[in-house]
Structure 1
Amino acid sequence: MANEGGRARFHRLRVAAVDRLTDDSVALALAVPPELREAYRFTPGQHLALRRTVDGAEIRRTYSICSTAPAHEAPSSLRVGVRLVDEGAFSTYAHKEIAVGDELEVMTPAGRFTLDPTSDTASGHYAAVVGGSGITPVLSIAGTLLERAPHARFCLIRSDRTTASTMFLEEVADLKDRYPDRFQLVTVLSREDQQAGLASGRLDQERLAALLPALLPVERVAGWYLCGPYGLVQGAERALRALGVRRDRVHEEIFHVDDGPAKERRTVPTPAHSTVTAQLDGRAGTWPVQDGESLLETVLRNRPDAPYACKGGVCGTCRAFLVSGSIRMDRNFALEAEETEAGYVLACQSHPTTEKVELDFDR
Structure 2
Amino acid sequence: MFHPLRVSEVERLTDDAVAVTFAVPPALRETFRHTPGQHVALRRTVAGTEIRRTYSICAPAGAEPVLRVGIRLVDGGEFSTYAFKELAVGDTVDVMEPTGRFVLEPRAGHFAAVVGGSGITPVLSIAATLLAREPAARFCLVRADRSVASTMFLEEVADLKDRFPDRFQLVTVVSREEQQTGLPSGRLDQERLTGLLPALLPVADVDGWFLCGPLGLVAGADRALRGLGVPRGLIHQEIFHVDEATAGGTAIAKSPSTAAARAPEGSTLTATLDGRSGNWPVREGESLLETVLRSRADAPYACKGGVCGTCRAFLVSGEVRMDRNFALEPEETDAGYVLACQSHPATAEVELDFDR
Structure 2 length as normaliser, TM-score?
Answer: 0.96
User: Cα distance, 1:212 vs. partner?
Assistant: 0.2
SS of match in other structure, 2:122: helix
* Structure 1: tracts of 5 or more residues without a match: 1-8
In 2, distance between residues paired with 1:264 and 1:147?
A: 36
User: Cα distance, 1:267 vs. partner?
Assistant: 5.7
RMSD: 1.1
Q: 1:274 aligns with which of 239, 245, 267?
A: 267
Paired residue for 1:293? 286
SS of match in other structure, 2:210: strand
Paired residue for 1:352? 345
Find out whether 1:302 has 2:287 as its counterpart. Answer: no
In 1, distance between residues paired with 2:252 and 2:165?
A: 46
Paired residue for 1:243? 228
Q: 2:58 aligns with which of 54, 66, 82?
A: 66
Paired residue for 2:160? 175
Q: Please say which of residues 258-267 and 193-202 is displaced more in the overlay.
A: 258-267
Q: 2:31 aligns with which of 35, 39, 47?
A: 39
| 2:350 partner amino acid | V
In 1, distance between residues paired with 2:260 and 2:27?
A: 51
| Corresponding residue pairs, total | 348
Q: Please say which of residues 255-264 and 79-88 is displaced more in the overlay.
A: 255-264
| 1:261 partner amino acid | A
In 1, distance between residues paired with 2:76 and 2:312?
A: 28
CA deviations 1:48-75 (Å, max 9, x no partner) are 10000000000000000000000xx241
Q: 1:40, 1:74 within 8 Å by CA — same for their partners in 2?
A: no
1:74-113 pair list within 5 angstroms: 74-75=64-65, 77-113=66-102
Q: 1:127 aligns with which of 96, 112, 126?
A: 112
| 1:25 partner amino acid | A
User: Cα distance, 1:269 vs. partner?
Assistant: 4.4
User: Cα distance, 1:273 vs. partner?
Assistant: 1.4
Paired residue for 2:205? 220
Paired residue for 2:237? 252
Q: 1:38, 1:74 within 8 Å by CA — same for their partners in 2?
A: no
**Same amino acid, percent of matched pairs:** 73
Q: 2:305 aligns with which of 303, 306, 312?
A: 312
1:7-46 pair list within 5 angstroms: 9-46=1-38
| 2:31 partner amino acid | A
Q: 2:260, 2:346 within 8 Å by CA — same for their partners in 1?
A: no
Paired residue for 1:153? 138
1:329-344 pair list within 5 angstroms: 329-344=322-337
Paired residue for 1:6? none
Q: 1:54 aligns with which of 36, 46, 59?
A: 46
Q: 1:43, 1:114 within 8 Å by CA — same for their partners in 2?
A: yes
Structure 1 length as normaliser, TM-score?
Answer: 0.94
In 2, distance between residues paired with 1:255 and 1:264?
A: 16
User: Cα distance, 1:95 vs. partner?
Assistant: 0.8
User: Cα distance, 1:289 vs. partner?
Assistant: 0.5
Q: Please say which of residues 131-140 and 254-263 is displaced more in the overlay.
A: 254-263
CA deviations 1:193-235 (Å, max 9, x no partner) are 0001100000000000000000000000000000000000000
In 2, distance between residues paired with 1:267 and 1:294?
A: 15
In 2, distance between residues paired with 1:182 and 1:14?
A: 36
Runs of 4 or more above 6 Å deviation: none
In 1, distance between residues paired with 2:169 and 2:64?
A: 29
In 2, distance between residues paired with 1:290 and 1:296?
A: 11
User: Cα distance, 1:264 vs. partner?
Assistant: 7.6
In 2, distance between residues paired with 1:157 and 1:93?
A: 31
Find out whether 1:321 has 2:314 as its counterpart. Answer: yes
User: Cα distance, 1:357 vs. partner?
Assistant: 0.3
